[in-house]
Structure 1
Amino acid sequence: MHRVRVLPKYLSKRLDRWRSTTFSENREWFSHLASHGQHPRAMFISCCDSRVDPVAMFEGEPGDFFLVRNVANLVPPCAVNRELHGTSAAIEYAVLVLGVSHIVIMGHSGCGGVAACYDKCEGVNAEWEKNTSFISQWIEVLAPGYERIKDMDGDRSERLSAFEKEGVKVSLENLLTFPFVRAAVEEGRLVLHGVWADIGSGALFAYDGSTESFVEV
């Protein structure tokens, strides 16, 4: 552990600014959160991509959203085994302990994880075939979505955009494989949502389950 270092200066400076502004101006609210715990109404499952920030986009404040970020905003199918499932554990906590009312799967344009899965399914990048790649194993969750776009017309960019949206749908489908999620949905305690954000334009498209299409919000 001797190789671990303290924070770089640019992060320390940002921390100082946050303490002197945001934290100082909202000290009472932070004290309330510390004393009374968190009670978020919504959970967001979004991508690790640094360009996509659901808190900023939806003007979230501390305590508003329960957040999970992973490669390609994926939810794996429910499977209880010896493997570690950070995303599944977070979903369980959000639904059974926090009692969130909404879960939002948030995909986005230009997703590197989706592109990696596309290349793997197309067999054009041997890097993603390696058993030692964590990314390769993780993005297999998305493979069912490839089956729905592999024969569509259009260039690579258009197919990737469609695949990103299918990824949102795959995660929504997988959410319903968790018994406690399905029960909460059927009992009206929980609503599921899927959205896809265009980074360059700021447009947001929400999935409408009744028409099985994405509509601009």
Structure 2
Amino acid sequence: MHRLKPLPAYLQQRYHGWKATTYAENSSWYERLATEGQRPRAMVISCCDSRVHVTSIFGADQGEFFIHRNIANLVPPFEPDSGNHGTSAAIEYAVTVLKVSHLIVLGHSKCGGVQGCIDMCKGDAPDLQRKDSFVGRWMDILAPKFPEVEAISDPDEQAQAFEKLSVLASMENLVTFPFVAERVESGQLSLHGLWLNMGAGELEFYSPPADEFQPV
């Protein structure tokens, strides 16, 4: 622990700015959240990408979203074993304890994780193919879907198609969780697949009847 260092000065300054403004103006709301606990209506599974800011996109306040972020916004299949399953644990908590009404998977354009999976599937990313690559083994969740976009010749179109497919793959895996499937069937939980074009600021949702992503 001797290697730990103090928080960078710029972050300390930002914290004090937040405490003096946002917190001071809403202190009773923060105290209520602390004493009464959280009651989010939705869980959002999004990418770790620093450019994807879920609360800003939806103008959400503290306590509205239960947010889990990982590389390429992936959901693994239901696997109750001795492994460390951070994403699965977050889903279990949101659905069985918080009892959220909506479960949203949010993908995005220019996703480095999805591009890494494309490179790995093409044999162009030897580092990701190593057995000890955490990112590579995580992208194994999505890799089986690559044949569905392999024939797309334009790199940008292929990446975009695979980004959207990553959302759908996660949606498919979500319903392998018994507690998710049960609440979906009972009408207590709804699933939503979204894709964000960051540069254009455009949000799309997956429409099952049309079997395509459409503008929100």
Measured against the shorter chain, the TM-score band is over 0.9
Task: State the TM-score, normalized to the length of structure 2.
Answer: 0.98
User: For residue 57 of structure 2, what is the aligned residue in structure 1?
Assistant: 57
Is structure 2 residue 172 aligned with structure 1 residue 173?
yes
**Deviating more after overlay: 63-72 vs 204-213:** 204-213
- TM alignment of 1:92-131, pairs within 5 A: 92-131=92-131
The runs of 5 or more residues in structure 2 that have no matched partner are none
**Whole-Å Cα distance in 1 between the matches of residues 86 and 6 of structure 2?**
26
Deviation at 1:96, TM superposition (A): 0.3
Q: Which residue of 1 aligns with 2:199?
A: 200
1:146 shift after superposition: 1.0
Paired residues for 1:1-217 under 5 Å? 1-152=1-152, 154-217=153-216
CA apart distance, 1:145: 2.3
Q: Match of 1:103, SS?
A: strand
Letter in 2 for 1:51: R
Would the aligned equivalents of 1:144 and 1:170 in 2 still touch at CA under 8 Å? no
The 2-side partners of 1:145 and 1:17 are apart by: 46
CA distance in 2, matches of 1:36, 1:65: 16
Percent of paired sites with the same residue = 49
Three-state SS of the structure 2 residue aligned to 1:120 is helix
What CA distance in whole angstroms lies between the structure 1 residues aligned with 2:114 and 2:65? Answer: 25
Name the CA distance, whole Å, in 2 between partners of 1:144 and 1:100: 30
Gaps of 5+ in 1: none
Task: In structure 1, give the amino acid aligned to 2:115.
Answer: A
- Runs of 4+ that moved beyond 6 A: none
Q: Residue 75 of structure 2 aligns to a residue in which SS?
A: coil
